[in-house]
Amino acid sequence: MTYSYIPGTCNLGKAEIRRRQIVAVIGLVLTLASFLGLVAADTANSARWSLFAPLMVFSIGFIQSRKKFCLAYGLMGTFNLGKLGDISRVQSPEDRRADRKTATIILLQGVLLALALTVILVSIPL
């Protein structure tokens, strides 16, 4: 599958999408390991609020890979549809504006997803 840059919609190629998927998996593994560690140590449920950080890693990686859009690239006015490290600049101010808007939405979605998952994990009575 070939990807093309679409302002505010797609700024990642296949290799970059794969990288975001790996980041999401790392965030999920860190979250699960931390959660199990907190439960095994019999900490207070309030200690589970610390899971927000690894859940943010998971959430941002997950959302970016699903949307084929990098938050950081969107904020910097860049994109990468080729091999890793082959970054190009967005030329049009209108396109950069659309990318910044999408990047901001992804950040907000990531925060909300991480917060919702954190609340669930804090609420589990273990």
Enclosing domain of residue 87:
14-123
Confidence class for position 3, pLDDT limits 50, 70, 90: confident
Which of helix, strand or coil describes residue 80?
Answer: strand
Tell me whether strands 78-79 and 88-89 are parallel, antiparallel or unpaired: antiparallel
pLDDT of residue 116: 98
Task: Encode pLDDT of 27-78 as tens digits.
Answer: 999 999 999 999 999 999 999 999 999 999 999 999 999 999 999 999 999 9
What is the DSSP-derived secondary structure letter of residue 78? Answer: E
The answer to whether residue 35 is domain-embedded is yes
In a domain, 100, yes or no: yes
- Domain-embedded: residue 107: yes
Residue 33 lies in a domain: yes
Q: Please tell me the total count of domains within the chain.
A: 1
pLDDT (average), residues 112-125: 97
Tokens of 24: 């999401």
Is residue 126 very low, low, confident or very high in pLDDT (cuts 50, 70, 90)? confident
Inside any domain, residue 2: no
Residue 42 lies in a domain: yes
Per-residue pLDDT at 11: 97
Report if residue 6 sits inside a domain. no
Model pLDDT for residues 94-110, shown as the tens digit of each residue: 999 999 999 999 999 99
Rounded to two decimals, the pTM is 0.93
Q: To which residue do tokens 């396109």 refer?
A: 95
